[in-house]
Amino acid sequence: MSKKIYIFLFILLCNVKVAVAQANIVYQKGVEFSVRITVVDNNQRKITKNIDISINGRTYTLPDATGRFIVKGKVDDEISVSHPDFETVYYRLTSSEDIKIIIKDNDKTSSKFKVKSFSKRTDNYLQYLDSANFYKKKDIEKSLSFIEKALENKQSKKRSAATYKTLADVYFHWKQYDLASYNYKLSYQIKEINATKIKLAEAQFLQKKYEESIKSFQEVSQKGLRNYERIQVFEGLGDAFFAIKRFNEANKNYQNALQIAQKNLVIPKITDLNSKIADVFAAKGNINEADSLFQNSLNLADKENLGRSLLQQEKVADFYNSNNRFDDEIKLRKKSLEKAEEDKKANSKRKINNKDIKDSITTQKINYKIGNAYILKEDYKSAIPFLEKSKKDANKNKDIVVEKDATRKLSEVFANIGNEEKALESYKEYVALVDTLYIRKEQEIQRVKRFSKTIADNQNRITSLEKDKELTQSKISLAYVDQQLSEESNRKQRILIYSLFGGIILLILLAYFMYRNNKQQKLANNLLALKSMRSQMNPHFIFNALNSVNSFIAVNDERNANRYLSEFSVLMRSVLENSDEDFIPLTKEIELLELYVKLEHNRFKDKFDYQIKVDESIHLEQFSIPPMLLQPYIENAIWHGLRYKKEKGNLEISINKKDDETVAISIIDDGIGRKKSQEIKTKNQLKQKSKGMSTIKNRIAILNDMYKERVTVKVTDVKENGEGTKVELQLKK
């Protein structure tokens, strides 16, 4: 059903002077003004439901009390007005004149359709779609239920495309990007609309399917795009290329988007693109150019609004942090803190839809990052008030993650300045918060499971509804061909087929859910066991290390004790930071080992020398390893092998490439050997089973079960007489 669309422009003038004064403002390029848009049918009845008006990325769906849509734009901005029942209207602004759009039916023989298109009494489709859009960001179940009802109606090609795009938009808002991609594809297959293809590419990017996203953006770039759509496509391509580290192509696309944004004065995009181009230069190591662009983006953001300014300051401060410019970072974050406090006191009505962005500019996070910057500067006393304020605000706002991190940092700071009592008190609070957070995470996992099941059930119903409609059409066709078949026979056959089909589906679903539940239960048990083992390893390691400090104190070696304690605090900080991780980069584990062996060598200089050899052909960044995996073996080599040797021994740690997928790590000592070490242990030592070794074996077993045999360990004697010990560990990518 085709429709003619007429656009009438009329200016409401009180007198000639007002018109002249208004024209001087409106026609000045770059000045934003308001435009009133009215959409009516043949009978001059206003159409207000399911109207979607877009301009420079801003969308307007709700009219005012008089049924007019009030939008803001500038000269040469392009407005698009769309509706499921007529072709999209495009209009380029030249002034602030009111716009009236009249929808007329072009087919004289189907005048009744004019009533059906916009009447609630005879056609509920538009009402259902409007309700689905209304609940889209509030209640996903209600929104999906209205989409189901809309799909039950007989639909035109354009309506079907609009319905599936609305469904995809709902999933996109709730971060179900796989379902969003599926429905955007379906909508685009029904009717090729550029905006749908762009949203598909964005959903694919958020799924981290970067190559597919690039392909979709490139395909839509060949179509006739509007200016803002061209900005979206080039920016999206830049984001995807940046994600796969193709920085030159990312920069090229960002520059193309920036040129269009500057030409059309799309200020928010100019700010964003300056910032993203700065990210590219920073990633390529061109820090000076990146800094210049970040400053430019800061200036632009300051001219927009408080929210944009805060977000950009946050990003630039992170850039300073990554380049060790802590003074600049602290200065900028203090400005952000002042703005955030002002905004808070003024009870600002500023709204930021993206929850991640809103969370990033809370006062507790800003205070935490300022404190962290002071710590990195080793200005611990200056860090304390900011960390305490962060902890207080986080507790008040129930932000347990920031409260946990701030408490942990406070514990480290107090330890560094020698206030052991407060350090211990903060550490106990940190442990309690970790346990609370773990419980909340468990509850959150359960909520996500229930949410995912609800979405899956709704999507299955929608898919089944569409298949049922297709199946019904097939049955009607079949009925005309097979008229001689009795109605009773057909009914019985359908019941039998449906019963078998339903039974098979139920069996498959039952088997799937049983398998998934067992797998999830096993994973949860493994994660709990790993957490328990890590909590055992840290006190065990701390206990052994503190014994070393005690040995220096026992002989009144204050200088070595102080030095040892200082280096030990650095080691402990790294150990605690990695304590919640299943795997850490191999490079980080090597750094920890070098520091640990150095500490032990300082104590037992007359007992052993050591070498750490790393094959330079290994790409260490490609390998990860469970934290504190190698340390117990090295500790055993020193304390139970080399320490009891009469002459000076040797410890060798080597990391060699076995093949492209595997590295071999060897820990070899020429100590007294395992058998002799066992013989000279005291009775008390024999009663106490080694916590470190037993725990590490259990950790390896669980991790190998979860990650498919990534780590193998073999312990052998070096010499036939039992002297020396060799630990061989193989680590896969």
CA distances from 213 to 187, 202, 226, 258, 550 (A): 17, 7, 20, 20, 59
**What pLDDT is attached to residue 308?**
77
560 vs 525: CA distance, rounded Å: 44
Mean pLDDT score of the chain, rounded to an integer? 76
pLDDT band for position 343 (cuts 50, 70, 90): low
Which has more confidence, 372 or 686? 372
**Most confident stretch, 15-24, 461-470, 668-677:** 668-677
- Tell me what the mean pLDDT of segment 377-382 comes to: 86
**What pLDDT is attached to residue 578?**
73
- Tell me what the mean pLDDT of segment 6-22 comes to: 39
Tens of pLDDT, residue by residue over 51-101, are: 767 676 667 766 766 667 777 766 666 677 767 666 676 666 766 677 777
Over 50: is that where the pLDDT of 275 sits?
A: yes
Whether 184 contacts 200, CB under 8 Å: yes
**What pLDDT is attached to residue 667?**
93
Q: What percent of the chain has pLDDT over 90?
A: 8
**What pLDDT is attached to residue 26?**
41
Which range (149-158, 254-263, 267-276, 422-431) has the least confidence? 149-158
Whether 678 contacts 690, CB under 8 Å: no
- Tell me what the mean pLDDT of segment 680-706 comes to: 65
**What pLDDT is attached to residue 611?**
92
Which has more confidence, 527 or 358? 527
Token duo for residue 663: 């590295």
Tens of pLDDT, residue by residue over 549-585, are: 777 677 767 777 777 777 778 777 777 777 677 788 8
**What pLDDT is attached to residue 239?**
92
Whether 194 contacts 223, CB under 8 Å: yes
Tens of pLDDT, residue by residue over 617-642, are: 888 888 888 887 888 888 888 888 88
**What pLDDT is attached to residue 467?**
57
- Residue 585: which of 409, 731, 702 has the closest Cα? 731
Which has more confidence, 93 or 479? 93
Which has more confidence, 64 or 614? 614
Over 70: is that where the pLDDT of 657 sits?
A: yes
Which range (195-209, 355-369, 414-428, 606-620) has the least confidence? 355-369
**What pLDDT is attached to residue 685?**
56
**What pLDDT is attached to residue 711?**
83
DSSP state of 669: E
- Tell me what the mean pLDDT of segment 221-245 comes to: 88
**What pLDDT is attached to residue 148?**
78
Which has more confidence, 709 or 123? 709
**What pLDDT is attached to residue 62?**
66
**What pLDDT is attached to residue 544?**
65
**What pLDDT is attached to residue 439?**
74
Which has more confidence, 525 or 382? 382
Over 60: is that where the pLDDT of 479 sits?
A: no
What secondary structure, in 3-state letters, does 573-610 show? HHHHHCCCCCCEEHHHHHHHHHHHHHHHHHHCCCCEEE
> Pairing mode, if any, of strands 649-659 and 608-614?
parallel
Helices 420-481 and 487-554 pack at an angle, to 10 degrees, of 170
pLDDT band for position 447 (cuts 50, 70, 90): low
**What pLDDT is attached to residue 483?**
58
Which range (108-122, 575-589, 666-680) has the least confidence? 108-122
Residue 726 burial class via C-beta count within 10 angstroms: exposed 0-12, middle 13-18, buried 19 and up: middle
Q: Which stretches of 264-354 are DSSP H helices?
A: 267-283, 287-304, 306-322, 326-345
Over 80: is that where the pLDDT of 482 sits?
A: no
Tens of pLDDT, residue by residue over 238-253, are: 999 999 999 999 999 9
Token duo for residue 557: 């070696």
